[in-house]
Amino acid sequence: MEIQKLNKEIRDNYLERMKTRPPERLSTSWYQDDLLYRGSGKSLFVIVPTPGCSWALGDSGGCTMCSYISDCTLEPIDDELIIQLFKKELDRHIDDIKADGKTMPIAIKIFVSGSFLNLQEISKEVRYEILETISKIDEIKEVIVESRPEYVKKENIEEIFSIIGDRLFEVSIGLESQNDFIREEKINKGFSKEDFEKAVNIIAKIDNDEDNNYKAKSKAYIFIKPILTSEKEAIDEAIQTSYYAESVGVSRVSFCPATIHKGTIIERFWRKGSYQPPWIWSVIKIINEARKNLNIPSFMDTSGFGSRRGPYNCKKCNKDLKHAIIDSNIKQSIIDDYECQCKNEWLAEINSKNFNKSKTKIKHLPLI
């Protein structure tokens, strides 16, 4: 596909210029308030250094909006070092976890800038040691990882439960869009809705199996505003994707508004003036509609809000609305109406953006 050819070219050029960092500088963690399956609690977020996402480093060039491989070593890492760095990050917060765990549930979210269930990125030995370490901390009640759907296998999930015991285990999958054309041609995701549904069904069957006590859950990431998508289209597609995700059985959805990552197609469009991240008004419209109509929890990521490369309204309301969204994620509440002059500009854009749109059906994207 044309998009993969351009994607690979941009990715390779970026990787040639990118300064790689040692694993010790790539591991990081933070601890914050969060809404867990058990209710309001705390989550420890841990980034574990890996060689990088196999999809991004392959011939396809990866997803058009993502450059998380810049947080990877791009070369093999000794298993013992990965385990050591994970334990180091965990130890930074263990006192808080022990104290908070007396009164509230604690979750750990492990990010590897790729797929935790892909043995090419995280070896079986490393996966075991990480989960074994977690299993010894009684206060941690939920374990969340990310993976592409092709790595979700019944035997993988059951093996993980054999280590973590009765803790809840969630796999977060980047569905991004329920629209096949958008997901394949604009995002270059590299998997079908059938692949996604198969993974969700595997997790659901394990969760519903009366022969075990496993608590297996799935979450869908939904991307807001891919390339060559108007503001109105981005709003409608994100909302429709959340409905689809619930209909196929995911436990939660998390919306991810576009931010401009370096070394991506989306950055090239942005630099040429052909792309702008979504308005924060659009983000609020999406999350409010989701909260009104979904029966599952919905979350809105606020990374990059108010920055030059992220979702933006104006300097008067960016900060207030970001905090309102963060608060609503915990409470699962509707965000109250907020007035600002820039709202009229947003309304004008979404009401008029498609007036001159061609009615010709798109068959491919002439990107080159």
Which amino acid appears at position 173 of this protein?
I
Residues of the chain with pLDDT under 70: 1, 353-368
Cβ neighbourhood burial of 120 (10 Å; 0-12, 13-18, 19+): middle
For the whole model, what pTM was predicted?
Answer: 0.95
Tell me the residue length of the chain.
368
Which amino acid appears at position 356 of this protein?
N
Q: CA dihedral in degrees (63, 323, 71, 167; nearest 10)?
A: -90
Q: Euclidean distance between the first and final Cα of the chain, in Å?
A: 11
| Residues 172, 188: Cα–Cα separation, whole Å | 18
What is the 3 state secondary structure string of the chain?
CHHHHHHHHHHHHHHHHCCCCCHHHHCEEEEEEEEECCEEEEEEEEECCCCCCHHHHCCCCCCCCCCHHHHCCCCCCCHHHHHHHHHHHHHHHHHHHHHHCCCCCEEEEEECCCCCCCCCCCCHHHHHHHHHHHHCCCCEEEEEEECCHHHCCHHHHHHHHHHHCCCEEEEEEEEECCCHHHHHHHCCCCCCHHHHHHHHHHHHHHHHCCCCCCEEEEEEEEEECCCCCCHHHHHHHHHHHHHHHHHCCCCEEEEEECCCCCCCHHHHHHHCCCCCCCCHHHHHHHHHHHHHHCCCCEEECCCCCCCCCCCCCCCCCHHHHHHHHHHHHHHCCCCCCCCCCHHHHHHHHHHHCCCCCCCCCCCCCCCC
263 φψ region: left (φ > 0), alpha (ψ -120 to 50), beta (else): left
Return the structure tokens found at 140.
Answer: 């941690």
How many Å is the Cα radius of gyration of the chain?
Answer: 20
| Residues 53, 69: Cα–Cα separation, whole Å | 6
Residue 361 pLDDT: 60
Return the structure tokens found at 60.
Answer: 């396809």
Q: How far is CA 39 from CA 33, 345, 361, in A?
A: 11, 38, 46
Residue 2 pLDDT: 78
Residue 18 pLDDT: 85
Q: Are 285 and 334 in contact (CB under 8 A)?
A: no
Residue 368 pLDDT: 41
